[in-house]
Amino acid sequence: MSLPPHLDGFTVLDFSSVGPASRCSRILADYGATVIKVSPPPRKGSVQIQPPYFAYSAHRGMKRVQIDLKAPDGKAAFLRLAAAADVVIESFRPGVMDRLGIGYEDVRRVNQRIVYCSTSGYGQNGPYSQWAGHDLNYLALGGYLACTGPRNDGGPPIPGATVADSAAGGMHAAIAILAALIRRNATSKGEYLDVSVAEGVLSLMSLHLDRYLATGEKPCPGYDILTGRYACYDTYQARDGKWLSVAAIEPAFWANLCKALGLEALIPHQTEDARQDEIRAALREAFARRDRDDWVRELAPRSTCVVPVYSVPDLVEDPQFLSRNVFVQAEHEEHGVFRQLGPVLAGTDRTRSTYPVRSGSVTDTDELLRAVGIGEQEMERMRSEEIVA
């Protein structure tokens, strides 16, 4: 007999359309929570960003409710939903939810057990709390960019993934929510969570921050083994123009690599600063003799910490990922069948191969509001007044 999903029976009201909060609700949905996306009716919602149909896994498995929260009846309807929910997630500027009358204290009055998570760029207070921002801003403020190798023009790089949104924000929020739900089991009380994405970046940067705070040594690109100081931790181009990632930090792995490349003489000099240019040149010359995938077939099984640098088209056909069922099919009523990343975090369900996904115009408003006691006559009135859709 299979176990139910981890978060089966938990209901999440999510106000976000993009960004860290949507990353968080995606995680919670993949663990089995019932996630309800809350948005304004179309007439009221022109300001809200609408992501492409395929983004955030096409919101598979989620429900939608459209309510005008500026209307008194709309606010009252939302509070009925919140009274029966476990989690509220919002990502507006600090103070917006309070001004709407649906902030933490408003929700807590109808539901003492609510876990209310506000995600923002810089936190709910402090001199930067009202600043606008996006992923690149949070990585800049948190020191991530300054510790990453420069572009050709010498400036900080543009990362190839939204690290702040996904890890410093979305995973940060999900971890905090899960911890709060566990504590609620013991106390029967919910709590307010102030998730600052910039502070999540600090958590990702903890190795560098703790070193500087303890020793005064300033981290920067090429400062230590993890930021490119040594040739054993770098990328190298193969004969076919494709690239390899080498991360042979431990001496045993470094020795295995050097032996496989016929560079045994370099083994004792792995971390000698004066010889790094020489070692890099030797590795470049060696890797340039064969194509990338030839090197991977030979080196990866020999404990050398060598893997290919993949493009996205490369990785979606990789046998390792395919063997672990990380990609699934989505069946969209308008866009047809397409592949997408399935639930991949540990403990999520990987047994399904196909997920139905719906158009963004489809809502569950009637079903959800009826479930919290709003009658048909009241629903019709609110719909005619465009309070709900």
283: CATH: 3.30.1540.10
Tell me how far apart the alpha carbons of residues 242 and 258 are, in angstroms, rounded to a whole number. 20
Say if 340 falls within a structural domain. no
Q: In what order do the strands lie in the sheet with 233-237?
A: 233-237, 243-247, 306-308
Judgement on whether residues 55 and 189 belong to the same structural domain of the protein: yes
In the block, residue with structure tokens 């996006």 = 134
Say what the pLDDT of residue 346 is: 96
For residue 28, what are its two tokens?
């919670």
Tell me how far apart the alpha carbons of residues 245 and 54 are, in angstroms, rounded to a whole number. 30
Judgement on whether residues 61 and 17 belong to the same structural domain of the protein: yes
Judgement on whether residues 150 and 279 belong to the same structural domain of the protein: no
Query: Looking at 134, 318, 364, 366, which residue is catalytic?
Result: 134
Query: Looking at 14, 30, 135, 165, which residue is catalytic?
Result: 165
How is residue 381 annotated by DSSP?
A: H
For residue 123, what are its two tokens?
């936190």
Say if 323 falls within a structural domain. no
Residue after which a domain boundary falls, among 267, 282, 308:
308
For residue 221, what are its two tokens?
């690109």
Q: How many CB atoms lie within 10 A of CB 331?
A: 15
Judgement on whether residues 250 and 177 belong to the same structural domain of the protein: no
Say what the pLDDT of residue 73 is: 95
Say if 332 falls within a structural domain. no
In this structure, is the dihedral angle defined by the CA atoms of residues 119, 120, 122 and 128, taken in order, positive or negative?
A: negative
Tell me how far apart the alpha carbons of residues 203 and 234 are, in angstroms, rounded to a whole number. 24
Residue after which a domain boundary falls, among 293, 308, 323:
308
What three-state secondary structure class fits 197? helix
Judgement on whether residues 55 and 169 belong to the same structural domain of the protein: yes
Say if 343 falls within a structural domain. no
Judgement on whether residues 191 and 67 belong to the same structural domain of the protein: yes
What three-state secondary structure class fits 98? helix
Say what the pLDDT of residue 155 is: 87
Say what the pLDDT of residue 285 is: 98
Give the range of the structural domain holding residue 374, as residue numbers without chain letter: 11-203+359-384
Tell me how far apart the alpha carbons of residues 40 and 71 are, in angstroms, rounded to a whole number. 11
Domain count, the chain: 2
Say what the pLDDT of residue 49 is: 72
Say if 314 falls within a structural domain. no
CA angle centred on 90, ends 84 and 96, rounded to 5°: 110
Judgement on whether residues 179 and 51 belong to the same structural domain of the protein: yes
Q: Identify whether the C-beta of residue 243 lies closer than 8 Å to the C-beta of residue 314.
A: no
Judgement on whether residues 16 and 125 belong to the same structural domain of the protein: yes
> Residue 171 maps to which CATH number?
3.40.50.10540
Please provide the DSSP assignment of 156-174 as one string: PP--SS-HIIIIIIIIHHH
Residue after which a domain boundary falls, among 269, 285, 308:
308
Say if 233 falls within a structural domain. yes
Judgement on whether residues 162 and 304 belong to the same structural domain of the protein: no
Say if 252 falls within a structural domain. yes
Tell me how far apart the alpha carbons of residues 118 and 131 are, in angstroms, rounded to a whole number. 15
User: Is 165 marked active-site?
Assistant: yes
Say if 273 falls within a structural domain. yes
Helix or strand (DSSP H, E) at 191:
strand 191-196
Q: In what order do the strands lie in the sheet with 336-341?
A: 336-341, 327-332, 354-357
Distances (CA, A) of 356 to 11, 77, 108, 321, 337: 20, 28, 35, 22, 9
Q: How many CB atoms lie within 10 A of CB 374?
A: 20
Average pLDDT per consecutive 10 residues, the chain (389 residues; last block may be shorter): 89 96 98 97 69 93 96 96 98 96 98 98 97 96 92 86 97 98 97 98 97 94 91 97 98 98 98 97 98 98 98 97 96 95 95 94 94 93 94
Judgement on whether residues 250 and 197 belong to the same structural domain of the protein: no
Say what the pLDDT of residue 152 is: 75
Judgement on whether residues 199 and 233 belong to the same structural domain of the protein: no
Instruction: Report the candidate in 21, 204, 12 with the shortest Cα–Cα distance to residue 120.
Output: 21
Tell me how far apart the alpha carbons of residues 216 and 369 are, in angstroms, rounded to a whole number. 57
Judgement on whether residues 271 and 366 belong to the same structural domain of the protein: no
Q: Identify whether the C-beta of residue 185 lies closer than 8 Å to the C-beta of residue 109.
A: no
